[in-house]
Amino acid sequence: CAQSSKNPKANVNKYITDKLEEMVKAYESTNDKWRALGYQKAIGTLRKHPKEISSWEEAKSLPGIGARLADKIWEIAQSGELRKLKEFESSEELQVLKLFTNVWGAGPHTAQLWYQQGFRTIADLQQKANLNHQQKVGVRLYDDFLNRMPREEVAEIETMVKDAAESIQLGIIAQTCGSYRRGKPTCGDVDILITHPDGKSHRNVFHKLLAKLKENGFLTDDLVSAEETGNQKKYMGVCKLPGENRKHRRIDIIVVPFNEYGCALVYFTGSAHFNRSLRHLCKKQNMSLNEHALKYGVVRKGAEKIHEGTIIPTPTEESVFKTLNVPFRPPEERDH
């Protein structure tokens, strides 16, 4: 979590809940929401249980745990394994659904649909499926996208984009965020955040930069050519460095106004898990945080916001942490 607080009660049945989590994932990918939910509830109950499960009856006595779930729990408690999970993981359906949900632009629903239509391989999709633009790119570049790239390659990509951006607008800031900024040895994609200290020149950059990077063949395919959220613009696409033996790589380019730079930097540096725990901290202090701003005086009723709150200026990353009353964490320590 974001705030290294007193350790809450440890989950003494973690070896059991870990296996049940796997079952949830399996049922989610076959779109079996009811079974997934049943397992999810059992996991919640087990996490709160203060002692190790030592009998079938003990498991059965817990709220929301029936005879069949108790069987599973007791099997794991005794053998450390769950036959049903092994069966599941080796089933053709699950293997194929995993393959298909890894296609960029396909979710669990689409994967299920393709499975029902009788498709089993990426080649099947390429030849027979009715694909939208994103899925066509995802299928064509399937192998390249599954490969994470070494951080040295991210640095080369960053240089390409930075040089192009600087040639368009003097004084532009182009900062690579995501897993690269967190110091990871390999990265799934490249996340580049762009802004300008004068508060206005960033506006000219987005389209000119993309045009320039397409002209020289660096950007090869668009996935989302321009997504606007408030004053931010996001591009999602594919790039390839010049030269032999280069792979296609996923790239995200986000242009933000300078007054949103602090919050955008925190958001796009992540991790996604770390961002969730920051937002959780916000709730407890009637604040809210997203890629645009940090606000105070937020009034919530359940999940709904009754009052949007007021923006607190946070020009730097440090100021975001400070306002949230959490000690600053360098990017390398933001994986949880």
Where in the sequence numbering do the catalytic residues fall?
72
Which lies closer to ligand DCP via its Cβ, residue 262 or residue 270? 270
Q: Is 191 in the site for Mg ion (CB under 5 A)?
A: yes
Which lies closer to Mg ion via its Cβ, residue 191 or residue 291? 191
Choose among ligand DCP, Mn ion, Mg ion, none what residue 27 binds, the Cβ cut-off being 5 to 8 Å by kind.
Answer: none
Q: Is 252 in the site for Mn ion (CB under 5 A)?
A: yes
CB of 209 to Mn ion, least distance (A): 17
Choose among Mg ion, ligand DCP, Mn ion, none what residue 272 binds, the Cβ cut-off being 5 to 8 Å by kind.
Answer: ligand DCP
Torsions phi, psi for 62 (to 5 deg): -75, 145
Q: Which residue in the block uniquely carries the two structure tokens 């951080």?
A: 151
If phi > 0 it is left, if psi is from -120 to 50 it is alpha, else beta; for residue 16 that is alpha
Strand pairing category for 294-296 and 310-312:
antiparallel
Q: Select from 316, 262, 271, 269 the least CA-distant residue to 293.
A: 262
Residues in region 223-262 near ligand DCP by CB under 6 A: none
Q: Which residue of the chain is nearest ligand DCP when measured via CB?
A: 270
Contact between residue 252 and residue 276 where contact means Cβ atoms under 8 Å apart = no
Q: Is 189 in the site for Mn ion (CB under 5 A)?
A: yes
Q: Is 75 in the site for ligand DCP (CB under 6 A)?
A: no
Choose among Mn ion, ligand DCP, Mg ion, none what residue 221 binds, the Cβ cut-off being 5 to 8 Å by kind.
Answer: none
Write the secondary structure of 298-330 as one string of H (helix), E (strand) and C (coil): CEEECCEEEECCEEECCCCHHHHHHHCCCCCCC
Report the distance separating Cα 11 and Cα 8, nearest Å.
Answer: 9
Both tokens of 153, joined, read 């390659």
Choose among Mn ion, ligand DCP, Mg ion, none what residue 268 binds, the Cβ cut-off being 5 to 8 Å by kind.
Answer: ligand DCP
Distance of CA 80 to the CA centre of its chain: 30
Which lies closer to Mg ion via its Cβ, residue 16 or residue 192? 192
Residues whose CB falls within 8 Å of the CB of residue 109, separated by 6 or more in sequence, listed in order: 31
Which residues are near Mn ion by CB under 5 A? 189, 191, 252
Which residues are near ligand DCP by CB under 6 A? 178-179, 187-189, 191, 267-268, 270-272, 275
Which residues are near Mg ion by CB under 5 A? 178, 189, 191
